Amino acid sequence: MALLRILEAPDPRLKQRAAPVAVVDDAVRALMDDMLETMYRAPGIGLAAPQVGVLQRIVVVDLGPAEARAPRFLVNPEIVWRSAETVVGEEGCLSLPEQFADIERAKAVRVRHLDRDGEVQEIAAEDLLARCLQHELDHLDGILFVDHLSALKRSMILRRLQKQRRQRA
């Protein structure tokens, strides 16, 4: 397994729509393993392939603690149902390090996807898992969490991110 470089906004690849995966093969599984290792190291709870510069519809998620890992691998995921009830919660993103904002999302979702073996699966998710899945699936369509904010709040976060980058340089 290898650590991958996580792209940071405003990298234009983060705004592109990812292509569907034709077949779940060893190359896709290796990419998912590398993504998972990268996500754990960051650390994060979800990572979409576009965040590592791969424009394919692949997501890895793990909300479990380090001592009880429970990774989920999703290929070509799609939300097939979302609750009418919404909740507001704080979100951050590995592609916008150390930036956070309150985002409104559906409280519950059902996501259909292919697993590591290419088999169709469905996840019924609520609360944090639902939020994480919606956030990561947004990445597959070129949407960042800041795109759910007003233009003013979005530009404030992006300016803070640029300032942070200059200070690191």
What is the 3-state secondary structure of 106-159? ECEEEEEEECCCCCEEEEEEEHHHHHHHHHHHHHHCCCCHHHHCCHHHHHHHHH
- What are the structural domains of the chain? 12-168 (3.90.45.10)
Peptide bond before 71: cis, by omega within 30 degrees of 0?
no
In this predicted structure, what is the pLDDT of residue 168? 84
User: What positions carry a catalytic annotation?
Assistant: 136
**Total residue count of the chain as it appears in this document:** 169
In this predicted structure, what is the pLDDT of residue 140? 98
Report in angstroms the alpha-carbon separations of 20 from 55, 90, 109, 118, 155.
9, 29, 21, 13, 31
Q: What is the C-alpha separation between 139 and 43, in angstroms, rounded?
A: 18
In this predicted structure, what is the pLDDT of residue 165? 87
pTM score:
0.96
In this predicted structure, what is the pLDDT of residue 169? 81
Q: What is the C-alpha separation between 116 and 101, in angstroms, rounded?
A: 32
State the distance between the two ends of the chain, measured CA to CA, in whole angstroms: 29
Tens of pLDDT along the chain (169 residues) come to 799 999 999 999 999 999 999 999 999 999 999 999 999 999 999 999 999 999 999 999 999 888 899 999 999 999 999 999 999 999 999 999 999 999 999 999 999 999 999 999 999 999 999 999 999 999 999 999 999 999 999 999 999 999 998 888 8
Q: What is the C-alpha separation between 137 and 132, in angstroms, rounded?
A: 9
Residue 116 CB burial class (10 angstroms; 0-12, 13-18, ≥19): middle
Q: What is the C-alpha separation between 40 and 148, in angstroms, rounded?
A: 26
